[in-house]
Amino acid sequence: MSPQTPNLKSVQKLLKPKRKKRRKTHKIGLPPAALVFTGDKKLETVLINLITYDEIAIYEESIHLDQLEEHLKLKKKVIWIDIIGLHDVELLEKVGLLFGIHKLTLEDILSVEQRPKMEVFDNYLFAALKMIQCTTPESPIDDEQISFILKDGILLTFQEKRGDVFEFVRSRLTDQKRTIRQRKADYLLYALLDAVIDNYFTVMENVGERIENLESLAMTAPGNETLNALYLQRREMMDLRRSVYPLREVIGSFDKYADDKISPETRPFIRDLYENTIQVIETMEVFRDMSSGVLDLYMNSLSNRMNNIMKVLTIISTIFIPLSFIAGVYGMNFDNMPELHWKYGYFYVIGGMALAIMGMLFYFRKKDWL
């Protein structure tokens, strides 16, 4: 990535990301496992996308909840149920009863601002993490909680809204030659987690380019708009750290606590995913330090700019000091001042002032003060 000096329009684009309003907590005073959706309603109706496949065939359809039990009887090798929209608490409660999901797990699915986590229950595995997207360096980072439940060849995913990073996984499922069709549901879980974490690298690349643009702005245009953009970027990096840093613990827990839920064939892929997670965290920490460094660079650039202004003003004041002295001497109007009666006295004084100015300018230039 080669940094370029942005113009004013680039500054305005950088100012686009606004600080997100924190969602109000509606669970204060409620008992544990109270099912309350803490996010914002982003869809009118909940969408349920069903994908079932084995080595021979794949079937995909958008269904209603009452059709789900009928499709489960088909007993395909892998069943992926993607539920989009979390505002319908009653529907999610029915899903929980159908699959034997604990109410504490449903509570975690509905609490969309919680810390990423992974838990192992007797009959299923639950994981929740942040899916972040940032298409261009000028666009804000859009984060969304996504939850996974793995149970007996069935994988359930819960999303807040449409638009995810799983298109590549879906395209692999439609290709019969791909090995993903021969593997179990735990490998599908790995593939989806890998898609989420791979997209973190894309986001980090855009964040890095944005920081480089801000670095150029801090050097060339250290104004109020640049300062606002720097503070917004710093706050965004703090939010990003809260989403990224727990990933190491979540992915590492698969290898430590989910031996009976993850097949031996999939475990090497999970370990590779853990290494990718470490790389994401290290990249994020580097960009976080760079973001703080750009703010220091801005302050130094602003201070240097102020010093240059003060230097110019000081030179101007220094030039006018002898001129003011000469004007003050000949403005006293004493009688015994022969120069006042010279025919060309005025021109001599003006010429002397001009010579004084040129002499000082020559001296300042020789000293590299100009």
| Distance in angstroms (rounded) separating the CA atoms of residues 127 and 155 | 11
Tokens (6 digits) for 66: 């009452």
Is CATH 3.40.50.300 the right assignment for the domain spanning 306-366? no
pLDDT tens per residue across span 299-311: 777 787 888 888 8
What's residue 194's pLDDT? 93
Other Cβ atoms closer than 10 A to 37: 19
Spatial CB neighbours of 198, under 8 Å, sequence gap ≥ 6: 165, 276
pLDDT tens per residue across span 118-162: 999 988 999 999 998 887 777 778 888 999 999 988 999 999 888
Strand order in the sheet with 117-120: 58-63, 47-53, 78-84, 154-159, 142-151, 125-133, 117-120
326-340 burial, b for 16+ CB within 10 Å, e for fewer? eeeeeeeeeeeeeee
Percent of residues, the chain, with pLDDT higher than 90: 18
pLDDT tens per residue across span 220-274: 777 777 778 788 888 888 888 888 888 888 898 887 877 778 888 898 999 999 9
What's residue 193's pLDDT? 93
Identify the architecture of domain 8-301 in CATH: 2-Layer Sandwich (3.30)
For the chain, the domains span: 8-301, 306-366
